[in-house]
Amino acid sequence: MIFYFTGTGNSLYAAKHFDKELYSIPQEMKKNSRKYKADRIGIVCPLYEFDLPVLVKDFILGSEFETEYFYIVMTYGMHHGGCAARNAEFFEKEGKHIDYFNTVQMLDNALPVFDIEEQRKLDPEKKVDEHLALIKADLGERKNYIQPASKEEVDFYEGYIANAIDYSASIEKPRYKVSDKCIGCGICTRVCPKGCIRVEGGRAVYDYTNCFGCMSCIHACPQKAIGYAVLQEKNPNARYRHPEISLAEIIQSNNQD
């Protein structure tokens, strides 16, 4: 049993390697009471700003899991910042024991930081399938492992934290804006895991109140009509979805209708 969240498909692609029984976290969050029982329960999701997406953290903290083996695998782009060790400790304090916590490097979809075209060139070096196979083997053996935080990653994380105030100011809500290129197709409304977008008068209207910044709407827009409001993007013409994951799968995962 795996609970996953994905903005652009990487984490769903990873989750499919580990188990067949997949449940979308945005769909599960519609339930008032969440109690799960299985031999092995996993969480697979992207890493956002060296942490779990707030939606995923809320899901874990607000659900009951009865299992002999609980694991978390996060997909990330360039630096995980020691996220696994830090969060394993956090969840332990919250009374949730994690048996296995690891990360896997995939394409970085963070538009203000990276040009997706440049990221695509790095893909082969990341050896994604090889790493997914190693993690799958670990999970098969029910290995106990928490990825340690190396000094390099901790330094990276602390450097980010030191500058985080500037960064937060630049993503002050609303994070995103919709341009005149919008044709009102409504795809953005269906990939948003928090129902932040609706179409009104043939045009997307973004309500930032519940937005946690997954960029799913920006990446899925066929017109490239959604972009950052204040932050500059490295390449406003480059958008991403994992090549093995369809738009229909992202919609099925995140749709809040």
Ligand X SMILES: Cc1cc2nc3c(=O)[nH]c(=O)nc-3n(C[C@H](O)[C@H](O)[C@H](O)COP(=O)(O)O)c2cc1C
Q: Which residues bind ligand X (CB under 6 A)?
A: 6-11, 46-50, 75-80, 106-110, 213-215, 242
Minimum distance from CB of 27 to ligand X (Å)?
15
Separation of alpha carbons 50 and 24, rounded Å: 22
Nearer to ligand X, 41 or 110 (CB): 110
Minimum distance from CB of 22 to ligand X (Å)?
13
CA angle 207, 251, 54 (to 5 degrees): 55
Separation of alpha carbons 170 and 230, rounded Å: 6
Minimum distance from CB of 38 to ligand X (Å)?
22
Separation of alpha carbons 118 and 96, rounded Å: 38
- The alpha-carbon radius of gyration of the chain (Å, integer) is 18
Q: Which of 120, 96, 98, 97 is nearest to 107 (CA)?
A: 120
Minimum distance from CB of 153 to ligand X (Å)?
10
Minimum distance from CB of 210 to ligand X (Å)?
15
Nearer to ligand X, 122 or 183 (CB): 122
Separation of alpha carbons 18 and 88, rounded Å: 20
Tokens of 27: 């769909």
Tokens of 225: 């009509």
Nearer to ligand X, 35 or 162 (CB): 162
Q: Which of 181, 256, 190, 252 is nearest to 24 (CA)?
A: 252
Minimum distance from CB of 198 to ligand X (Å)?
22
In the three-class reduction of DSSP (H, G, I as helix; E, B as strand; rest coil), residue 137 is classed as helix
Minimum distance from CB of 81 to ligand X (Å)?
6
Nearer to ligand X, 11 or 102 (CB): 11
Nearer to ligand X, 48 or 70 (CB): 48
In the block, residue with structure tokens 């769903």: 12
Nearer to ligand X, 126 or 136 (CB): 126
Q: Is the dihedral of CA 150, 11, 167, 51 positive or negative?
A: negative
E strand or H helix that includes residue 177:
strand 176-178
Nearer to ligand X, 80 or 194 (CB): 80
Strands 197-200, 226-228: pairing is unpaired
